[in-house]
Amino acid sequence: MSKNKTKTTLADYDLVLDESPHIFEKWSSQWIMLQVIIAMLLPLAAGTYFFGLQVPFITGVAVLTSVISEYLYERLVRKRVTITDLSAVVTGMLIGLSLPNGVTWYAAVIVSVIAIVFIKMIPGGIGKNRFNPAIGGRIIYLMAPWIVNAFVAGEDVLTTASSAEAITGATIWGPDLVSSATPLYYISSGVSEIPEGAQTLWNLFLGNQGGWGGSLGETSSITILIAMAFLIIRRVINPKIPALYIGTFALIMFVYSGFDFQFVLYHLFSGSLLIGATFFITDYSSGGLTSMGRNIFPIGAAILTAAFRISLFSPEGVGFSILIMNAIIPFVDKVVMPRIYGHTKRPKVHLDYDLTEPLTKRDILTEK
C-alpha cells in the first residue's frame, strides 16, 4: 500500500444534506395531502346534502383564497412557490368545512387569508408552523363576535362571553357569525335533559336532519368516521393518535356524567370532536416531534376539551384545546427528547424544532 494514500473522510461520501423528511417512496407531501383531500370529500358531500350548494361554494372560495394567498406571499418574499404540495388546498377545505351554516363568502376569504399568511407562511411555511392554520382560522372566526363587542360595541367580555347577547350582538361580517343552537350547546349549559325537538343520537350519527346548527362539514359523524378509516388504511394517520384523543375524552366525560353512556355519545357525535380527531389532532407539523410528545399531544388536548365543555366556557372546546397544545408541545418535546445512543446528554430542541448536537463533531472514519 502506498504511504501517500490519504485517509477516507465523510466528505468523500455523497451524503443527503437536504432538510427532512427524506422519503424515497411514493409518499411525498403532495401524495399525503391528496389522500387527505379525498377523505374530506365525504364530509363535503354530506354537508352539501344537508345545507345545500353553499357548502361547495364556500369551500371553493376558501380553497381558492388559500392557494392564491400562499402563491402571492411566496412571490412577494421571493421564496420557492410550494402550492403544488396541495397543503394550501387542504387548509382551505378544512376552513370551509369549519364555517357555520349561512356564512358569507367574504368571511371565508378573510379567515383563509389570515390562516395562510399569518399562521402558516410567516412562521416559515409547511412543517415550520407551530399552530395549525385551519384551527387558527376557525378560532379567529369564533372569537370575532367577542372582539367586536369588546372593542366596538363596548360589551364586557368577561361577563357576557357565555351569554347569547355576547354573540348575537356582533355585526362585523354580518349575521353569519351566529350559528344556530346545537345539541352540544344544551348539554353543555347545565340542563338535565335534552329539550324536545333536539337531535337524537341516531340523527347526530347520520347527519343534521332536524334543522339544528353546526359547522358545514361536521354534522355527519358517520362520514367523518369513514374518512378517518380511509386515512388509517392509507397509512396517512396513526390510529393511536385519534384513539388516544377520543378515548381520553370519553373516559373523562363518562366519569363526570356519573357513568352515563348516552351523555358521552352526545358529546362524541356533537361539535367538531370527530373532525378534530381526524384532521387536526393528526397534523404532522404541529402535533409533536418525539414519540412521547405525539402521545402526550392528543391526551392533553382531550383533557382540555373536556375541561372546556365541563366548565361551560365554550360548548365546543376542540379548537381552543388544539391551539393550546400547539403552543406547549415544543416544551414537552424538549423535556422528553430521548438521548442519542452512546451519548450522555440529550440533543437540544429549540422552540422552532431545529435540532443541535451538543457534542463536538467527529469524523469517525478518520479516527483510529
Q: pLDDT at residue 24 above 60?
A: no
Indicate the DSSP class of residue 81: P
What 3-state class would DSSP assign to 89?
Answer: helix
CB-based contact 316:267 (threshold 8 Å): no
Q: What is the per-residue pLDDT across 155-191, written as a single tens digit (0 to 9) for each?
A: 444 333 333 333 333 333 333 333 344 556 555 555 5
* In-domain check, residue 188: yes
Please give the residue range of the domain that contains residue 220.
29-156+163-336
What is the identity of the amino acid at 254? F
Which pTM does this prediction carry?
0.76
Residues 27 and 16: their CA atoms lie apart, in Å, by 18
Closest CA to 301 of 249, 250, 336, 252: 249
What is the distance, to the nearest Å, from the Cα of residue 14 to the centroid of all Cα atoms in its chain? Answer: 38
* In-domain check, residue 24: no
The 10 Å Cβ neighbour count of residue 33 is 20
Going from the C-alpha of 87 to that of each of 38, 55, 78, 327, the distances in angstroms are 13, 20, 19, 21
Angle, CA 137 vertex, CA 135 and CA 143 arms, to 5°: 100
Residues 107 and 179: their CA atoms lie apart, in Å, by 14
Closest CA to 116 of 64, 66, 63: 66
Average pLDDT for 208-233:
83
Cβ-Cβ contacts under 8 Å for 254 (sequence gap 6 or more): 260, 261, 264
* In-domain check, residue 3: no
Residues 202 and 141: their CA atoms lie apart, in Å, by 29
What are the cell numbers at 333? 418535546
Closest CA to 73 of 112, 24, 33: 112
What is the distance, to the nearest Å, from the Cα of residue 168 to the centroid of all Cα atoms in its chain? Answer: 26
Range of lowest pLDDT (21-35, 55-69, 251-265): 21-35
Per the DSSP assignment, residues forming a β-bridge with 100 are 215
Cβ-Cβ contacts under 8 Å for 247 (sequence gap 6 or more): 302
* In-domain check, residue 212: yes
Look at the chain and report how many structural domains it folds into.
Answer: 1
CB-based contact 204:86 (threshold 8 Å): no
Q: What is the per-residue pLDDT across 284-315, written as a single tens digit (0 to 9) for each?
A: 877 878 888 889 999 999 999 999 888 865 55
Which single residue is written with the C-alpha cell 367574504? 106
What 3-state class would DSSP assign to 215?
Answer: strand
What 3-state class would DSSP assign to 235?
Answer: coil
The percentage of the chain sitting over the pLDDT mark of 70, rounded to a whole number, equals: 66
Please, is 123 exposed, middle or buried when counting C-beta atoms within 10 Å of its C-beta (0-12, 13-18, 19+)? middle
Q: How confident is residue 355, by pLDDT bands cut at 50, 70 and 90?
A: very low
Half-sphere exposure of 22 (CA within 13 A, CB side): 5
* In-domain check, residue 367: no
* In-domain check, residue 345: no
CATH number of the domain bearing residue 292: 1.10.3430
The percentage of the chain sitting over the pLDDT mark of 90, rounded to a whole number, equals: 36
Closest CA to 229 of 5, 365, 35: 35
Average pLDDT for 56-70:
96
How is 154-190 classified by DSSP, letter by letter? Answer: ---HHHHTTSTHHHHT--TT-GGGSPPP-HHHHHTTT
Amino acid 23: pLDDT: 54
* In-domain check, residue 360: no
* In-domain check, residue 48: yes
